[in-house]
Each structure stands twice: as structure tokens, then as C-alpha cells.
Homo-oligomer: A and B are copies of this chain.
Amino acid sequence: MRFSRQIITVEEALHRLLERLGAQGVEEVHIGEAYGRILAEDVHATEDLPHFDRSPLDGFAVRAVDTVAATPEQPVRLRVVETIAAGNVPQVALTAGCASRIMTGAMLPPGADAVIMFEQTENPAALSDEVGIKRALRPGENVARRGEEIRRGAVIAQAGEKINAGTLAVLATFGCTRVSVVRKPRVGLLSTGMELLDMEQPLSPGKIRNSNTLMLSALIAEAGGIPLLFPSLTDELSCAKKRLTEHLQQVDLLVTSGGVSVGDFDVMAALTDEPEAELLFNRIAMRPGSPTTSLLLYGKPIIALSGNPGACFLGHELFVRPAVEKLSGVRELQQRRVMAKLAVSYTKPCPHPRYLRGRLGEEGGVLYAWPDFNEKAGNLGTIKDSECFIVIPAGGSGKQAGELVEVLTHAAPSWRR
């Protein structure tokens, strides 16, 4: 299988991988540590929101019926019977000819059915016992009715949603201080290759420092996984298989970089020929990273990325990120594919779809995609600037500036030109 590889599309490869992954179990966390986690269950409103009729502004609570004759020239005079601060319970029910001074967020007094803002009254000073109402109000005007935002029992957040600052706000409002979330997947991580030095080590001829492990560790944490770093793998197959098998006991997914190609020492490629391995794919119609491989070892998933930093990054975004999200219980797995106009021509021929790193810009409401133009896929100096992958279709003609191309976004666009 290692040398005679069956080529499949990116989409088919992703499908084969994801269908073998299920969501982790559930755990309960305090709301204070829930940011970024994936909800395991729908959350329902425990009360109406607001849970009482309240004033959305500073002014006077009135009975609309008392204001029908009011005009700026001939204000209706009402007797001020109470001042209601937010948080207080009104003590006086409004009767004909009366108003209560009321603050933003405060509870409406019984009998009141409208609120007029200070600016539309005469003599709104705090200690006055009378106020002039300068316009007629409709019943219900400027009243936030009980339950008008959210009804008790309504779903306020759904299983599979990622908890962000806004989710925390709505959970806090309903007092949901304990939250059921999907357990974070543990993702083992290691590199292969005898050329790798630790990043602390001085360079020596022929050797390079390992940059993929740290990069992948950050990306996996971003995707919602817990990265567990293991030492680099030897190129001796039986020893490597033993090590991987041990690591797999501790993780939900194992990600490796390097050793997937046809080189003499490509241990991850060799592994796919072993009887304990179930190959999912080892050749993908894409550049870079066509030998990106996935297999199950004793039923546990391994994604073996290319060692080339650019291909490793692409492989993570195409396969590892969705895998981590699936394991994390994310409801809407999405690759964030959009169409954009190619900002400059790219005509290099390629037998397979080419994934160019780039940026997204906008002009006059139209999306533009700017390739990075790092001809060397391994160019790791510009990975940090990448916001998306621009897909150049297979074939000899590439794409001209202004043509629509498919774009996979992987970061918030900076919208730089």
C-alpha cells in the first residue's frame, strides 16, 4: 500500500476520517471555565427574560390613557408618587393622574403601561412632585414586557455550540453556573525524522530544529484539543509500532509529522503495510501534502502529516482541525469555504488542486483572495500571515486575476489589501 497508493480527493479523505470519529463523553464545568468549550446539551431558559415588566430608559412610568391630550404646548400634569430605582420593588400602584419616576431597568409599578423619557417631559427634576407630560403615549410604549426577549423554557444555547462571551452572558443571566460540555479530546503529537533537533539545541550540519510539533500543539489547542507531546519517533518500524501503540492508549487521536512519503526511512508510510493497521488514505489529490496519511492502529485513529512545514500546516487545517472538532462534539463542522476573486493571476500548472496560502481582502463589497506567492510550499516564514487557502484547480491553465476561486478560510480575515 505504501508504494501503490490509491489517490482520492480531499473531500473523500475527510469523509473517510470523520466517519470513524465520534464525540467524547460529557463533563460538567463551572461557567467560569466554560469559555471555548462545546455544549453537550441544549440549555433552556429557567425564567422569562425579563422576568418582570421593566423600563428600558430613565423617565416616568404613566398610564397611557392619562396622556392622550398631551402636547408640547399643553403638557398633561401628573402627580409623582414614587421614585423607582432599578432593583427596587414599586410600593405604589398608579391611579388616574399619577406617575412614578422610574430608572432604566426598574420594575414598572402596577397600573403603569407606558414610560416617557425625561427629555420629553417638563420639570423632570428629581425632587419635584409634579411632572408635565409633553406627548401622548401608546399603551405598552417604552415597556420591556416580561418574557419579550426570551420565554421560559426556550432553548438559549444548543448542544454542539462553542461557548463564547455572548453565550456566557446568556448563561449567567439564567443562573446556569454549571454547564455540561463535551470532554476535550486528548491529541497525542510527535514528529518523526532523524534530522530533527529540539528547538533549544544548536544547529549542526544536516540537522534542523523541530518546528512542527510546537506549531501543531498551538493549532490543536486552538481547535479545542488537549495536545500531549511525545518524543520524536525512531525510524525502526517494530520499535515505532510499539511506541505508537502505547501512546494511543493515552489519547483519542494521534497526530504525527514526517515520514509519510516514499523515502527509505519513512516509518509512518511503512506502518500502513502492517497487519494491525487499517489504512484510511495515503494519497490525496492535492498540493502540497499529497502523501498525507490516515490509519487506524488497533482501531485508534492516527493522522500522519507531511513533515514539510507548509504541507503540515495545510494537513492540519484540512484534516486535524475538523477531526478535533468532531471529537469535541462541534455541531456544524464546516470548512468555511467561500468564493472570492483571485487578486492576481496564478498560472503554474499542477496535476492536482493546489492549496495556496493567502489573505482575504474586500473592495466594494467583493471578496478578493491574495496568494502568498511562496512558491516553496515548505516556506515556513509566511505561515503566520496566512488567513486562508486558495484552491487552484488541477490542470495546466491555473486561474487569471478576477476569476472566482474557492477559498478555505482558517483565520479571521485582516482585510488587508
- Give the B-binding residues of A (Cβ under 8 A): 31-32, 35, 47, 49-52, 56-58, 83, 85-89, 101, 103-107, 118, 126, 144, 148-150, 156-157, 161, 164-170, 172-175, 177, 193-196, 199-203, 205-212, 214-216, 218-219, 221-222, 235, 261-266, 307-309, 313, 332, 334, 336-341, 362, 364-367, 376, 378-386, 404, 409, 411-415
Judge whether B218 and A156 touch: CB under 8 Å: no
Q: Are A166 and B313 in contact (CB under 8 A)?
A: yes
Q: Would you call A107 and B168 a contact (CB within 8 A)?
A: no
Contact B193 A404 (CB under 8 A): no
The docked-state distance in angstroms from the alpha carbon of A35 to that of B49 is 39
Q: In the docked arrangement, what's the CA distance between A34 and B86, Å?
A: 44
Contact partners of A210 in chain B: CB under 8 A? 172
Q: Kindly state the separation between the CA atoms of A103 and B193 in the bound complex, as whole angstroms.
A: 11
Q: Of B50, B169, B201, B218, which is within 8 A of A165 by CB?
A: B218
State how many angstroms separate the Cβ of A387 from the closest Cβ of chain B: 9
> Could you give 28 example pairs across A and B, Cβ below 8 Å?
A52-B205, A58-B261, A83-B264, A85-B235, A88-B195, A105-B193, A106-B195, A107-B205, A144-B378, A149-B381, A156-B381, A161-B384, A166-B386, A168-B218, A170-B384, A172-B209, A172-B210, A172-B215, A175-B202, A177-B200, A336-B413, A337-B415, A339-B364, A341-B365, A365-B404, A409-B413, A412-B413, A413-B413
Question: By the criterion CB–CB under 8 Å, are B414 and A126 in contact?
Answer: no
- C-alpha spacing A381/B101, complex, angstroms: 29
Contact across chains for A379 and B149 when beta carbons are under 8 A apart: yes
Pair A172/B211 contact, Cβ less than 8 Å: yes
Q: Given A200-B175, A264-B83, A415-B336, verify A105-B367 contact (CB < 8 Å).
A: no
Residues of chain B contacted by A101 (CB below 8 angstroms): 264
